[in-house]
Amino acid sequence: MVTLTIDGIDCSYGSVDVLKDVGFAVESGQFLGVLGPNGSGKTTLLKSISRVLKPQKGAIFIGDENVYKMKTVDVAKQMAVVPQSTPVSFDFTALEVVLMGRNPHMARFKMEGKKDLDIAKNSMQLTRTWEFADRPVNELSGGESQRVIIARALTQEPQILLLDEPTTHLDISNQLEIMDLIKHLCETKKLLIIAVFHDFNLAARYCDSIILLNDGKIVAIGKMNDTLTSENVKKVFNVDTIVKKHPITGSLYVIPISRPIIQKQKSLLVHLICGGGTGSTVMKTLLDEGYRVTAGVLNLLDTDQETAQLLSVPTTNDAPFSPITDEAHKANLQMISKANVLVVTPTQFGEGNLRNLEAAETALKEGTPTILLENGPTEERDFTKGKATKYLTKLKNNGAITVKSISELVTFLDNLETKHNKESPLTTEPITRF
């Protein structure tokens, strides 16, 4: 077992400060990912740990030993590095390059023995590079070369493995294969691994913990599930995202949300009755089209509530997994009264949210155009013994419009927008969050 400690280091290139008071510790068997925008100091951090760039301040320890006071060969016996690219200008074969990983373990002028060859062969088999062991490495593809370099690092038999964007030159199948291998080595051989990533989802799938770097400083550090959040991603990358747990892998996945340039803000205010994720795409689409949007009643922690919060869509909320209260129902009716259009998405209805359909019925009676977005039989999402179906049928009978897709919804709203602007231009009032 080994512990790597980075103790408050500062690093710079000449007069340009790159890392500022960076400190953390990692132990054997942990897989730490480093994420950050270009120029945030990710590669510099690896260079400092691997003794390429000595910090101006602070220290780096393997166990109790300062790496900058250790012999180079002793560091190499414990730490291996896979850089972004490793150009090889000589006609070394792939096997010869991989065998270079044995140098720290060999006496000067000593040739490789059977043990060294066995270790190299095993590393190449693990990385699927043994098949071109005798080929010149400068004739290999970028992905093949990267796998050879990873094999060389494994041949070094390190306790610590540093990787700078290890899958840059690999296609998706090779990315997963290499990352599966690295994760397997972390778990079975208890390797301490620090890897720089650009891909959030690749890091989330394989890393236990992450560091988010920006402007040379640690913005957030900790377990993946606690640290990779929409708020932290926004702080570091200034990008809006949705971060969710994947239902199959169990790992987090990140969906970036683009912010298109809206040429003209439209006058219609659209209120959504949604839930369970059925309103998320609708919200994003309507906002992209220039419409103002509100939503409710949504339970806190509901997917649509989280999306609304991310997109700054005003909502009426209630407690998680709780029936709609009188207070929330009244607030929702007040919000609907300010809307020009009401849209009901194909969400599931139970006794807890049935009052949302009651609110829709009230809105339709008071003359608010009501649109039902439907993508299948109502009965399949009615868990109220038919009450919700009766409400929706009544809405249709009383003049609610049914559309089958979001594009059809947008077309209807665009026509309504044109009609309203011709007959009596609508004023745009500020929206208050409830």
Phi-psi region of 103 (alpha: psi -120 to 50; beta: other; left: phi over 0): alpha
- The CATH code of domain 3-256 reads 3.40.50.300
Q: SS in 3 state form for 119-143?
A: HHHHHHHHCCCHHHCCCEHHHCCHH
Question: Are the C-beta atoms of residues 112 and 106 closer than 8 Å to each other?
Answer: yes
> What is the DSSP track for 372-434?
EE-SS-GGGGB-STTHHHHHHHHHHHTT-EEESSHHHHHHHHHHHHHHHHHHSPPP-PPPPP-
Task: Quote the tokens at residue 62.
Answer: 């393997």
Confidence (pLDDT) at 111: 72
Quote the CATH superfamily of domain 269-423. Ribokinase (3.40.1190.20)
Residue 28, helix vs strand vs coil: coil
In Å, the largest CA–CA distance within the chain is 92
Confidence (pLDDT) at 427: 43
- Sequence-distant (6+) residues with CB within 8 A of 98 are 120, 123, 124, 129, 133, 148, 151, 152, 155
Confidence (pLDDT) at 424: 58
The full set of domain ranges for the chain reads 3-256, 269-423
Question: Which own/partner contact pairs does 241-248 have at CB distance under 8 Å and 24+ positions apart?
Answer: 241/200, 241/310, 242/280, 242/306, 242/307, 242/310, 244/303
Amino acid identity of residue 33, one-letter, is G
Task: Quote the tokens at residue 155.
Answer: 């041949």
**289: which DSSP letter?**
T
- Look at the alpha carbons of 401, 404, 406, 410 in this order and tell me if their dihedral is positive or negative: negative
Query: In angstroms, rounded to a whole number, what is the distance separating the alpha carbons of residues 126 and 140?
Result: 18
pTM higher than 0.75, yes or no?
A: no
Query: In angstroms, rounded to a whole number, what is the distance separating the alpha carbons of residues 21 and 23?
Result: 6
Query: In angstroms, rounded to a whole number, what is the distance separating the alpha carbons of residues 220 and 2?
Result: 24
| Unique residue bearing structure tokens 């969400």 | 347
Confidence (pLDDT) at 99: 93
Query: In angstroms, rounded to a whole number, what is the distance separating the alpha carbons of residues 79 and 50?
Result: 8
Phi-psi region of 139 (alpha: psi -120 to 50; beta: other; left: phi over 0): alpha
- Sequence-distant (6+) residues with CB within 8 A of 106 are 112, 116
Query: In angstroms, rounded to a whole number, what is the distance separating the alpha carbons of residues 280 and 301?
Result: 13
Confidence (pLDDT) at 78: 93
Cβ atoms within 10 Å of 316's Cβ, excluding its own: 26
Query: In angstroms, rounded to a whole number, what is the distance separating the alpha carbons of residues 160 and 11?
Result: 21
Confidence (pLDDT) at 109: 62
Confidence (pLDDT) at 286: 94
Q: In angstroms, what is the C-alpha Rg of the chain?
A: 29
Task: Quote the tokens at residue 85.
Answer: 């690219």
Phi-psi region of 215 (alpha: psi -120 to 50; beta: other; left: phi over 0): left
Confidence (pLDDT) at 29: 95
Q: How far, in Å, are 353, 354, 382 from residue 357 at the CA level?
A: 8, 6, 12
**Which pLDDT tens digit goes with each residue over 14-72?**
888 999 999 999 999 999 999 999 889 999 999 999 999 999 999 999 999 999 999 99
Q: How far, in Å, are 228, 294, 347, 356 from residue 395 at the CA level?
A: 42, 20, 16, 12
- pLDDT values of the chain reduced to their tens digit, one per residue, 434 residues: 899 999 999 999 988 899 999 999 999 999 999 999 988 999 999 999 999 999 999 999 999 999 999 999 999 999 999 987 666 667 899 999 999 999 888 877 677 788 999 999 999 998 889 999 999 988 888 778 888 999 999 999 999 999 998 887 677 778 888 889 899 989 998 999 999 998 888 999 999 999 999 999 999 999 999 999 989 999 999 888 888 887 777 888 888 876 666 667 888 999 999 998 899 899 999 998 999 999 999 998 888 888 888 788 999 999 888 899 999 999 999 999 999 999 999 999 999 999 999 999 999 999 999 999 988 888 888 889 899 999 999 999 999 999 999 999 999 999 998 887 776 544 444 333 22
Q: Which of 229, 233, 258 is nearest to 244 (CA)?
A: 229
Confidence (pLDDT) at 364: 93
